A and B are shown apart, each in its own frame.
Chain A
Amino acid sequence: MSTALPNYRRKQIRPVWCSGCGNYGVLRGVEKALGNLKVPAEQMVVVSGIGCAGRFSHYLNTYALHGTHGRALPIATGVKTTRPDLTVLVVGGDGDSLGIGGGHLPHAARKNVDLTYLILDNNTYGLTKGQSSPTTPWGCVTKSSPYGSPEDSLDVLPILLAYDVSFVARTTSLRIEEISAVVSKAMQHPGFSIVHILSPCVTYPVLKQKALRERIEPLPEGHVPGSKAAALHLAYSSDPIYTGVFYSIQKPTLDARLRHLQESALERYSAKGTPPSIPSLMERFL
């Protein structure tokens, strides 16, 4: 890792991740993607939640907000709504994105807010030292499930497809080049894009590197990302675990939707569509 890309690294803060953590690979892949896209660091806002993945925002030399558990997505929605000029990247782990913050996903999808969400999935709560998470398999023994987890794990991609997230992809921390390529595509996608990144934890290996390496396989050539049915079919496969862009469609972004509202409001207000002054708006309350 000596030939790192220094441009996007915040020098003052060193990662707290364990040696061998999948997140290092993700960080490198994302840095490569940013380098490919040549996004100026000051034009970017990285918003993250709590957990090991939540520390992601510390390490990129951009504007960064490391907030509360599960709320990265609505915070980022506020950033992007007021500042469409900024490039917004959101990062969370499986607990942050699918557990405590899972309720925000469908609504960001409904808005099609133009940002990229990286879900770094290690099937466990690493920072609190190895409890079961929403993606921990049923029966798996963890610190919070000493007799085996009593719950099913979530099938992440089918959920995102059902929510009609307009860009859905999967990759793994084992493939830095693929991360770079997929994240680049996601960031270029106009609308809400999610990249589900399987990133094994070395200390609490619920998701094991070796098993993952054996099962991952790129999406079949010829997969058309415009077809949700095809995407769903491939998304349900657990062996092989496919990686690549499952789904990508065009629909108006939140910014375009709000602009449209604005235009019709102005048209209704005055034939010329000129914006009113504040005093003239107050006259309406006489």
Chain B
Amino acid sequence: MTSGKKSFHSEVDFILRIAGEGGAGVISCGELFARAAARTEYHVFTFLTYPAEIRGGFAMVQIRVRDWTIYSMGSKLDCLVVFNQQAFDRTIKELKKGGTLVYDPQAVQLPPDLEATLLALPLTELSKEATGSVLGKNIVALGALGHLVEMEQRVLENLVRDRFASKGAEVIKRNMEALRLGYAYAAEQAWRRILLMADLRPKGSHYMMLSGNEAIALGALVAGCRFTASYPITPATPIFETLTRLFPLVDGRALQMEDEIAAVSAALGASFAGEKALVPTSGPGFQLMTEQLNLASMLEVPLVLVDVQRGGPSTGLPTKTEQSDLNLAIYGVSGESPRIVLAPTSVEDSFYQTIRAFNLSERYQLPVIMLTDQSIGLRKATVRMPDLSHIIQLDSHVARTKVKIPQPEFINLIDRAEPTAKELEDYRRFRITADGVSPIARPATPGGQYLATGLEHTESGKPDYTPENHLQMSRKRFRKMEVIARSFDTNPIEIWGRADAKIGILGWGSTAGAIREARYLAEERGIHVRHMHPHTLSPMPHRQISNFLVRLEHLIIVEENYTGQFAHHIKAHFGVKAIELHKCEGIPITPEEILRGIEKVAGIIDEYSIAKL
């Protein structure tokens, strides 16, 4: 790699998709390939979609390999591997002109005039030869792909052996044979290599290969969270599965509860008892949890809830992605109770925003809702190992002024403020303070006993429904939101793109990478765009967003839902007009789709300037 290269331009940028029927091992084929690629100096980014069923349906995995940071799943495919006709029909339009198509001739009928390099691979036949069944198709495909990208057979052999280690020697042997047949067939047919990966050096610094869900679990671990309670729900379950595996090793505890209401209740209880607690779920579960979240806000108990959003409404599209729980996160409550809403933008960001979620939650004694989605949650990406020797535990009283957003080089941790001996002499749990935060006594602290009730209460916790008290305590609770909004000024939101650009894009959550690439593509075409992607959706970083908006002539708001929830939120706050770009198809928006939007807006500007002349 040459140094000083602009971060978007790269020599290697390869997008592969493997598609087939669910249960055929399509995803594990992709994951093994991605894992092998991640061991080289290249960066890897995967996106996958499962069918909602365990067998049958349509499954696909997309892997992008690049010699530089990857921001999105990319747009068109360089190489497509299809196991059956349905997979071919549904994905062929995504293949680049002149791209490479690998297909099973026994399962796929090709139309006559395909503009692609066609590579027939008798998957079914070779699988039967190697394993005696069709179950080895994915490993045959992996072998053929290994040849195509010149991946050393030994590397894939090791990964396949690891994958089937628990299944016994016979299964390993059959899969090794499947892998070998795949390699051999591609070599015999003299398939031309489309990428050369054999002689790459391994990466210099430490990289993990994480899914967004795993990144959240690790973020919680680093933040000092030692309790989680959950109920299984796609696509959030891996967060709990990861924590329940790790927690026993670090004196943490994980409970699978009987339903989502019980899960969030247990987490609330754990936090009341003094522990940092995480509740992972997805939209339908989140909906059930809102009552307890409201209680947490009223009791001023810290709590972090992660909603890995999926397609809705109702049961909706359990295995697909969507950004449609924003309204629920911000407004879904009876009465009025403050809560913080965050949205990580990538797998790596999921790690740091989780730490930040705990810091905010502990610092302000508020529930924090983190909105990620299926596309971040399940995809895997290479993530730089953070430097954990630089963790700084901040004293909660010092932390009242400045808290930095965690970064790889620099992680702050904050624990809730506890009452001092002097404060315990006349302890008022809900004492009215300048920033609305009052020290919280940990059970077993003598003299700290208090009543936390969901009824409106006084500073000391006694129920009180008088008009003055309700107003005063509502002010106390909401003062925290004002203090948080002001605190953003010490952590400016990054704005990308030229300062004089007339077109601005606002997005949230997982669309960050696609918008970033769309901006590069637009720049290549001479269109300048500014891009802002706030992590905190509530309370709004008001001043910073207004500063961004005032310099623009055209605002585009990008999100993955039908009604434009973020756009409504922005328009309500700032009274601006916006061009809304929505995608509501259960799959992530691509850089090209956003580029088309930018080009349209730029076209309008051109016409407008001609008219002015």
Contact = CB atoms under 8 A, between A and B. Distances in A.
**Do they bind each other?**
yes
A77 B259 CA distance: 14
A4 interface: no
B460 interface: yes
Interface in B183-232: 206-210, 214, 218, 221-222, 226-227, 229
A42 B248 contact: no
Contacts of B275: 82-83
B450 A81 contact: no
A232 interface: no
Interface in B473-499: none
Contacts of B257: 74, 77, 107
A24 B280 CA distance: 41
Please indicate which of the listed interface residues B218, B441, B451 has the most CB atoms of chain A within 10 Å of its own CB: B451
A103 B259 contact: yes
B404 to A, nearest CB: 20
A74 B248 contact: no
Contacts of A10: 449, 451
A271 interface: no
B463 interface: yes
B453 A78 contact: no
A281 B221 CA distance: 10
A58 B443 contact: no
A79 interface: yes
Contacts of B208: 282, 285-286
Nearest to A259: B248
29 contacts: A10-B451, A42-B449, A45-B272, A45-B273, A63-B272, A63-B441, A64-B449, A65-B269, A66-B452, A67-B265, A68-B292, A68-B454, A74-B258, A74-B263, A76-B269, A78-B270, A79-B443, A81-B255, A82-B253, A82-B275, A82-B277, A86-B443, A106-B258, A258-B253, A276-B249, A281-B218, A281-B250, A282-B208, A285-B210
A65 B262 contact: no
Given A83-B274, A86-B444, A78 B267 contact: yes
Interface string A37-57: 000111101010000000001
A81 B248 CA distance: 13
B603 interface: no
B223 to A, nearest CB: 10
A153 to B, nearest CB: 24
B449 A63 contact: yes
A77 B269 contact: yes
B227 A64 contact: no
B338 interface: no
Interface in A236-275: 258, 261-262, 265-266, 269, 275
Given A58-B453, A68-B295, A258-B253, A42 B444 contact: yes
A128 interface: no
Contacts of A43: 443-444
Given A63-B443, A78-B265, A281-B246, A286 B258 contact: no
B277 A78 contact: yes
B455 interface: yes
B154 to A, nearest CB: 19
A80 B277 CA distance: 14
Nearest to B294: A68
A65 B452 contact: yes
A67 B453 CA distance: 6
A42 B448 contact: yes
B386 to A, nearest CB: 8
A13 B446 CA distance: 19
Given A65-B269, A76-B269, A106-B258, 15 more contacts: A58-B463, A61-B449, A64-B450, A77-B257, A78-B267, A78-B269, A82-B226, A82-B270, A86-B443, A104-B258, A258-B248, A269-B249, A278-B388, A282-B208, A286-B206
A143 B500 CA distance: 70
Nearest to B458: A12
B571 to A, nearest CB: 34
A74 B264 CA distance: 9
Contacts of A64: 449-453
A278 B250 contact: yes
Contacts of B222: 278
Interface string B532-545: 00000000000000
A185 interface: no
> Dominant SS at the B interface?
mixed
A279 interface: yes
A170 interface: no
Given A75-B265, A266-B249, A65 B463 contact: no
Interface string A66-106: 11100100111111111101100000000000000001101
Contacts of A106: 258
B473 to A, nearest CB: 16
Contact of B255 (A75, A77, A275): A77
Nearest to A40: B446
B450 A63 contact: yes
Nearest to B383: A285
B209 A78 contact: no
B181 interface: no
Given A66-B455, A103-B259, A79 B250 contact: no
B299 interface: yes
B291 interface: yes
Contacts of A209: none
B2 interface: no
B547 interface: no
Contact of A13 (B227, B250, B449, B451): B451
A42 B446 contact: yes
B227 A78 contact: yes
B385 interface: yes
A74 B249 contact: no
Contact of B444 (A78, A85, A103, A276): A85
Contacts of B210: 285
A41 B292 CA distance: 26
B460 A12 contact: yes
B259 A83 contact: no
B90 to A, nearest CB: 32
A113 B79 CA distance: 54
Nearest to A104: B262
Contact of A275 (B250, B253, B388, B462): B250
A165 to B, nearest CB: 15
B268 interface: yes
